[in-house]
Amino acid sequence: MMRRILNKKLLSERGQTSVEYLLLIVVAVSFGLLFAKKMDQYLIKNPNGLIAKPINGFKNKLNSDTSGRYRYYPIGPVAQ
């Protein structure tokens, strides 16, 4: 009798611990995704961002006379 009571108590504590860990993982993943989204908006999608600014500079140099298309430069000998 006493053993059944102890087993039920342990099983319920284990189940609660599993749920707590699952909730902790969900919260951690949510914060991670939120952080990644904010950093993406700040660094890449923002025209003056730390990463987008140099990329836009390169894009402007490459597209200066091609009306918005990239130039293609061959690597190696060109077949004629």
Q: pLDDT: is 71 or 44 the higher one?
A: 44
Q: Which domain holds residue 33?
A: 2-55
Domain assignment present for 6: yes
Domain assignment present for 14: yes
Domain assignment present for 63: no
Residues 51-64 have pLDDT tens digits of 777 777 777 776 66
Contacts of 10 (CB under 8 A, 6+ apart): none
- pLDDT over 70, % of the chain: 61
Domain assignment present for 51: yes
pTM metric for this prediction: 0.50
Contact 50, 43 (CB under 8 A): yes
Q: How many domains does the chain have?
A: 1
Domain assignment present for 68: no
Domain assignment present for 25: yes
**CA 75 to centroid of chain Cα atoms:** 33
Distance CA 70, CA 64 (A): 9
